[in-house]
Amino acid sequence: MPRRLPHWLLLCVVGVLAGSWAFAVLNTAGWIEMFFYSRHDAGVPFRIQYSDKISFADAEWQKAGLAVGDRVLAIQGEPFRGFAQEYGQIRHLHGGDSYAVQVEKPDGKVRDVRAALPPLVPASTPRKISLLVVAILLQIAFPLLCMVLGTWVLVARPQDANAWYVFAILQFMQIVFSRTESFTSALTFLSLWQDWSQIAFLMSALSFGLDFPNPFPTERRYPWARWVLVAPLLLAFPVDTLEIIARLHFVAWFRAVPAQPLVILDRLENAVGIVSISIFCASLFMKLFAEKAPDARRRLRVMVLGSQLGLWPLFLLVIWSAIRGVQLNTAAPFWLFLTALLMFVLFPLSLAYAIIVERAMDVRILLRQGTQYALARGTLFFLRFLGGAFVAFTMFQVLNHRIGPTRSLVQTVVALVLLLGIRFSLEKRARLWIDRKFFRESYAAEQVLSDLILQAGEFTETRPLLETVTKRISETLHIDSLAMLIRTPTGFRLQTSMGVEIPSSFVLRDSAQSITAVERRRGPATVYFDRPDDWLLDASEQERAALRDLHVEVLLPLPGRGRLMGVMALGPKRSEQPYSKSDLQLLASVGTQTGLALENSELLSHLKVEITQRERVNRELEIAHEVQERLFPQSFPKIEGVQVTGMCRPAQSVGGDYYDCMIVANGRLALAIGDVSGKGVSAALLMASLRASLRGQTMRQTTDLATVVSIVNELLYESSASNRYATFFYGEFDPATNKIHYVNAGHNPPVVLRVKSDGSLERHSLEGGGPVVGLVPGAGYEECQLQMTAGDLLLLYTDGISEAMNPSDEEWGEERMIAEAEGLAGISAKQTLDAMFAAADGFAAGAEQHDDMTLMVVKIDGGQSPR
């Protein structure tokens, strides 16, 4: 974005524009009043210059005795104070009114002179429309056009000194055709602004000729040289100001100042002005042949040609009118004079164009495009005019009843169809034909780039996409150097290029000014080192050198959906023609589609990697599931009078639930169940460690279960993270005594369901033992026991089954689970297990479960009698 203007510069811009437009409005109003409302107003019969002496007198007043050199003492009986007094009095009089002036002759005699005031517009002046048109164009329209162009240039580039020069030059055009006498109340301002503008014009013309587009070589060697001419002009500012104020209001001041110094200074100012204008013209012509920069040379060609075509026809008419001794507007036929005036417009247009455009076009291209555009627009306008004229003629005949009702209806329908056809069908086809016929190159580029926009979205791989886009843009716009920089974790790296020789390791950081500029603009950014934007000035020297190596003229962003995917660096066209607005719009669309395609390609590549990784992980999880399944009992011990079965259903491929049963060395039936904290692979690994620790301890042939669990706790603590643990239950059933010895380390208490002699059910919870294993080192555990009887049903479970959730997030609960088991009397342990899982699934009603579900069922049928 452009930098904010300093306050002082902003105030200067506002002040200059306000003063210039105030002068323009008053000047325009004065001419309008003269053309349309001042037919009978009075003109000024004499003028004063340098002092209170007359420098010009009307012919009738000279006959009455007024002569050049007479000193004015009074007008209309009032002492003469200044020229503004004369204007103020004459302003309220009409041509032919009597006017009295008292003057002092050079011999010292005082004389009263009275004569009729001349008309502002001579009665003999013909009121021809052609002359009125010329006057309006020359004295109103053309100055206003220059003001609009000058304002546009200054507002667009207020920090460019050349823009100020052009504004001063164009503003002077209204001074040339100014009329300040109409507003006596603002006469001082108008007169001062007129003089200041003339001085500013001379200094600006001199500076513009020396500085545009690049400083003249002698400026570097003799920077003081221009001040030889600028100094007298600067001196003229205060001197002219005092002179104008004195001439308007205080002519008595002139009596204290000799007239000769003022005459010398005025002649010096005129001489400096002539030299300044000569330097302006000569230096631009010399630079035209000496300038080596292509863009600067194109700007000079446009400006010089526009100036020549605009100024010479009118200049020749001025010379011809001087030779013939006639007025300018009567020196040549009206059509010739009007043509010269219209061509005069080329002068301000060429000045404004040379300053405003980012990159100037060659003169031949401008002429060709301008002619083609005029032809295209003229053709379509002529077609619409014919259609509208036919419709108007038809409606005229209908309204005046010049044709019958039937013919009226038919002709009206035909007229409307013709008009609609021209508007919606023929005009569209005509535009297409004109585009193909006259703008074949731009039309072809637009078609190719439009096709590329659609084609870019079809690519799924990065390299073919970049190669195709690079090749098509290079061929279409005739670009020899082009590079693609694609986003990587370390910055934007060179991916593919043509016509540039830079290492493949070239990279632009995310924080580079060029990257920031295209991200902020959200569109192409032009790179002109001779007219750098603010972001280019802020870039580091290394970054600017890199952009020069890439021969960049346009940086095209390749945006994705949420971030910038890359940047395309486009070099200049072979024709040196700048990128047009249409080119940049089409390139922006290509860049958007390319960026989206790059993002899709990146997402597809990541998706492929992720799918491959997921397939590998799934395969590894399948293997882990198979391994974990092998860790669970593959068969259950056969003990007379005891049925044992169990099942674990992991919520994921692998889980953290553990159950086991085996015959230990002393003939007991060992039962174990646990629930490891966490889920997934980490829990499964800890579960395997728990199993290995327990299996290792059962081989020691000890009956002290508290010691066994204590050692398991120590082993698990050493092999797991500090925040990992397991709830654990370990018990041994002695068939000889029908007793179960156990240690419950923080696990859900297993439940023994017993049918009493009276048929009622009795529940026993196997609680007590100690804390969870693997969390607290050196924890103490206590062994507990329970006498079992025939018919007892022992349920060992994890909270995954007791806390099964239904779609309403309601838990099954231990009470429902145990109640379900109580209703399953008289069936085997395996049938009980299946029924319990079926009941849990029925309650869940298909809701997804997030915890492993494990259940062991031990049924005591009989066995040995207790000792």
Kindly report, residue by residue over 240-256, the tens digit of the pLDDT: 888 878 777 777 776 66
Q: Give pLDDT, residue 392.
A: 62
| Three-point CA angle 127, 132, 137, nearest 5° | 170
Read off φ and ψ for residue 520, nearest 5 degrees: -70, -40
Confirm if 790 and 858 have CB atoms less than 8 A apart. Answer: no
A 10 A CB-CB count for 369 gives: 15
Helix 334-344, helix 294-324: angle, nearest 10: 150
- Decide which of 546 and 800 is more confident: 800
For residue 53, pLDDT over 90 is answered with no
Give the orientation angle of helix 581-631 with respect to helix 440-456, to 10 degrees: 10
Name every residue whose Cβ is closer than 8 Å to that of residue 461 and which is 6 or more positions away in sequence: 601
Band (pLDDT 50/70/90 cuts) for residue 713 is very high
Q: State the average pLDDT over residues 248-269.
A: 73
pLDDT band at 293 (very low <50, low <70, confident <90, very high): confident
Q: Where are the beta strands (DSSP E) in 105-156?
A: 110-116
Strands (E), 780-840: 784-787, 793-797
CB 697 within 8 A of CB 711: yes
Please report, as a single letter, which amino acid is at residue 179.
R
Residue percentage of the chain with pLDDT more than 90: 13
Q: For residue 368, is pLDDT > 50?
A: no
CA–CA gap between residue 428 and residue 418 (Å, rounded)? 14
Q: Which amino acid is at 361?
A: M
Q: How would you classify the pairing of strands 110-116 and 98-104?
A: antiparallel
State the pLDDT at residue 749: 94
Sign of CA dihedral 132, 138, 144, 145: positive
Q: How many CB atoms lie within 10 A of CB 858?
A: 27
DSSP state, residue 458: T
What is the torsional sign of CA 286, 224, 299, 589? positive
Omega before 777 cis (within 30°)? no
E strand or H helix at 780: none
Q: What is the pLDDT of residue 405?
A: 57
Q: What is the share, in percent, of the chain residues with pLDDT greater than 70? A: 78
Using a 10 angstrom Cβ sphere, with 0-12 exposed, 13-18 middle and 19 or more buried, the burial of residue 182 is buried
Residue 21's alpha-carbon distances to 127, 700, 863, in angstroms, are 30, 109, 118
CB 357 within 8 A of CB 578: yes
pLDDT at 9: 64
Position 6 scores a pLDDT of 64
Enter the tokens of residue 605.
Answer: 């590549």
DSSP count for the chain of H helices, then E strands: 27, 23
What is the tens place of the pLDDT at every residue in 565-577?
Answer: 888 888 887 766 7
Average pLDDT over residues 760-788: 91
Within 10 A of 176 (CB to CB), how many other CB atoms are there? 15
Query: Are residues 543 and 513 in contact, defined by beta-carbon separation less than 8 angstroms?
Result: yes
Q: 775 or 384, which is more confident?
A: 775
The arithmetic mean of pLDDT across residues 542-549, rounded, is 79
Determine the residue type at 349. Answer: L
Sorted by sequence, the CB contacts under 8 Å of residue 553 that are 6+ apart come out as: 526, 527, 528, 570, 571, 572, 579
As a whole number of angstroms, the distance between CA 59 and CA 45 comes to 9
* Alpha-carbon gap, residue 480 to 603, rounded angstroms: 32
Residue 68 in this model has a pLDDT that exceeds 70? yes
Q: Which of 122-131, 337-346, 400-409 has the lowest mean pLDDT?
A: 122-131
Per-residue CA distances from 713 to 660, 740, 777 (Å): 17, 21, 7
How many Å apart are CA 846 and CA 805, to the nearest integer? 9
Mean pLDDT of 522-550: 77
Instruction: Give long-range contacts, CB 8 A cutoff, 24+ apart: 95-102.
Output: 95/40, 95/41, 95/42, 95/43, 95/119, 95/120, 96/42, 97/42, 99/42, 99/45, 99/75, 100/75, 100/76, 101/46, 101/66, 101/72, 101/74, 101/75, 102/72, 102/73, 102/74, 102/75
The string of DSSP codes covering 143-157 is HHHHHHHHHHHHHH-
Q: How confident is the model at residue 367 (pLDDT cuts 50, 70, 90)?
A: very low
* pLDDT score for 710: 93
Distance CA 805, CA 847 (A): 7
831-835-838 Cα angle (round to 5): 140
Average pLDDT rounded to a whole number, residues 465-482 = 75
pLDDT at 67 over 80: yes
Residue type, 623: I
Q: Cβ atoms within 10 A of the Cβ of 454, count?
A: 9
Going by their DSSP bridges, the two strands 853-860 and 793-797 should be labelled as antiparallel
Q: If you average pLDDT over residues 531-550, what whole number do you get?
A: 77
Mean pLDDT for 70-75 is 83
pLDDT of residue 36: 62
Cβ atoms of residues 247 and 82 within 8 Å? yes
What pLDDT score does 437 carry? Answer: 47
CA 528 – CA 530 distance, rounded (Å): 5
pLDDT tens for 413-451 read: 666 666 666 555 555 565 555 544 444 444 445 555 556
Rg over alpha carbons for the chain, rounded to the nearest Å, is: 51
pLDDT tens digits along 587-625 = 777 777 777 777 777 777 777 778 888 888 778 778 777
| Concatenated DSSP letters of 323-346 | HHTS-GGGSS-HHHHHHHHHHHTH
For 804-815, write each residue's pLDDT tens digit.
Answer: 999 988 999 999
Q: Name the pLDDT band for 456 (thresholds 50, 70, 90).
A: low
**CA nearest neighbour of 559 among 525, 536, 583, 535:** 525
What single DSSP character describes residue 761? Answer: E
The band of 380, judged by pLDDT with boundaries at 50, 70 and 90, is low
Q: Answer whether 705's CB lies under 8 Å from 721's CB.
A: no
Q: What are phi and psi of 557, to 5 degrees?
A: -75, 150
Q: Write the DSSP assignment of 607-662 as a string of letters.
A: HHHHHHHHHHHHHHHHHHHHHHHHHS-SS---BTTEEEEEEEE-SSSS-SEEEEEE
Buried/exposed code over 622-643 (b: 16+ C-beta within 10 A; e: otherwise)? eebbeebeebbbeebeebeebb
304 vs 329, higher pLDDT: 304
The model's confidence at residue 50, banded by pLDDT at 50, 70 and 90, is low
CA distance 534 to 513: 10
Residue 210 φ/ψ, nearest 5 degrees? -80, -30
**Residue 340, amino acid:** A
Contact 371, 590 (CB under 8 A): no
Q: Is the pLDDT of residue 483 over 90?
A: no
